[in-house]
Amino acid sequence: MKSYLIERYGDRSVVHAAETPTPQPGPADVVVHIHAASVNPLDFKIRDGAFKRILPYRLPLTLGNDFAGTVIATGASVTRFAVGDEVYSRPDKDRIGTFAEQIAVHQDDLAPKPASLSMVEAASLPLVALTAWQALVEKARVEPGQKVLVHSGSGGVGSIAVQLAKHLGAYVATTASATNATLVKELGADVVIDYRTQDFEQELTGYDVVLDTLGGDNLEKSLHVLKPDGKAISIVGPPDADFARDLGAGLVLRQIMNAMSLTTRRHAKRRGATYSFLFMKASGAQLREITALVDAGKIRPVVDRVFPFDQTLDALDYAEDGRAKSGKVVIAMS
């Protein structure tokens, strides 16, 4: 089958098309014919080798972190899916490879595709929707009436997080360009800060939760808008010891990650707040919850542009260059 892979870490030039073996299902695996896959910043970080110390992939490695498709085979122990089922997923971090015609996924990481969505729309959701869910539901435990700031509300994660926070009953602020102000208001934002002309640190105060998708100075400034007992959650900021423990990292690596986030955690503590790093995990159970919200009209995907499979390299370049105006870039296999 055709796949887009890397044989060494590096820049965009290392990604190329190749013929790879078709996947064979393990006892609890489901083999899916992929109809569409989406592009995520995580793809570039993996390609660059940014995570090679903590995610030691074996090369060659097919890239791609989420998809939608149709079941074509199941392992002997599979009980939840059958051939012909329409599904979507973010595979486990050790089993990525969705820029391909087929993939084998553990049934625990798979969920029925929302009936109300096309394959392209569904493929845009798993990674970003799980990220938003795990940040706002699991880590932050957002409750009705709380104030939540979501950065980059028109982006992949942000566009879903704004909708989920609103569904959870929060008062939602977000940062976006003036061009995307109408979009994020339609998604549920109560306050929109134009990051080009306004300083959110000066405009906002007393927030219970901040979801940071940018890192750096943006994360540091985000701590200043939190109320005491507020929570800053970042998907790009420095990793922490909890993340290392989740990875099963050894003592040395846990100490290194703890040190990397020490300054940020201290700054948060001075304000009576907390900081945590989020690296999203695969979860079919959580995707089922998200499917229900999508089919109930509570969450909708935002797709910027769709590329055919043979233009996967162009799709990666388009996304990495920041040309997407809002939402996700999706690759359609058929």
pLDDT score of 254: 76
User: In this structure, is residue 290 part of a structural domain?
Assistant: no
Number of residues in the chain:
334
Cis peptide upstream of residue 60 (ω within 30 degrees of 0): yes
Q: Give the domain extent around 254.
A: 127-277
193 and 71: one domain? no
25 and 53: one domain? yes
Alpha-helical regions (H) of 233-283: 241-247, 251-260, 262-270
307 and 194: one domain? no
* Interval 115-149: pLDDT, tens: 999 999 999 999 999 999 999 999 999 999 999 99
User: In this structure, is residue 282 part of a structural domain?
Assistant: no
For residues 79-94, one letter each, b for 16 or more C-beta atoms within 10 angstroms of the residue's C-beta and e for the rest, the string is ebbeeebbbbbbbebe
User: How far apart are the C-alpha atoms of 237 and 275, rounded to whole Å?
Assistant: 10
User: In this structure, is residue 159 part of a structural domain?
Assistant: yes
117 and 134: one domain? no
User: How far apart are the C-alpha atoms of 289 and 21, rounded to whole Å?
Assistant: 33
Q: How many domains does the chain have?
A: 2
Question: Residue 109 carries which DSSP code?
Answer: G
pLDDT score of 244: 75
Q: Is 256 helix (H, G, I), strand (E, B) or coil?
A: helix
pLDDT score of 257: 77
User: In this structure, is residue 296 part of a structural domain?
Assistant: no
User: How far apart are the C-alpha atoms of 164 and 299, rounded to whole Å?
Assistant: 7
203 and 310: one domain? no
Q: Which ranges of the chain have pLDDT less than 70?
A: 249
263 and 152: one domain? yes
pLDDT score of 47: 97
136 and 259: one domain? yes
Tokens standing for residue 70: 């149709």
User: In this structure, is residue 289 part of a structural domain?
Assistant: no
CATH number where 100 lies: 3.90.180.10
271 and 306: one domain? no
CATH number where 235 lies: 3.40.50.720
CA distances from 333 to 16, 38, 55, 119, 230 (A): 16, 11, 27, 10, 43
Closest CA to 38 of 321, 323, 302: 302
User: In this structure, is residue 157 part of a structural domain?
Assistant: yes
132 and 269: one domain? yes
User: In this structure, is residue 291 part of a structural domain?
Assistant: no
115 and 161: one domain? no
Closest CA to 118 of 288, 306, 283, 326: 306
User: How far apart are the C-alpha atoms of 111 and 108, rounded to whole Å?
Assistant: 8
113 and 146: one domain? no
User: Please, what is the Cα angle at 30 between 25 and 32, to 5 degrees?
Assistant: 105
For residue 147, list its beta bridge partners.
Answer: 171
The pTM for the full model equals 0.96
Residue 58 makes CB contacts below 8 A (sequence gap 6+) with none
211 and 143: one domain? yes
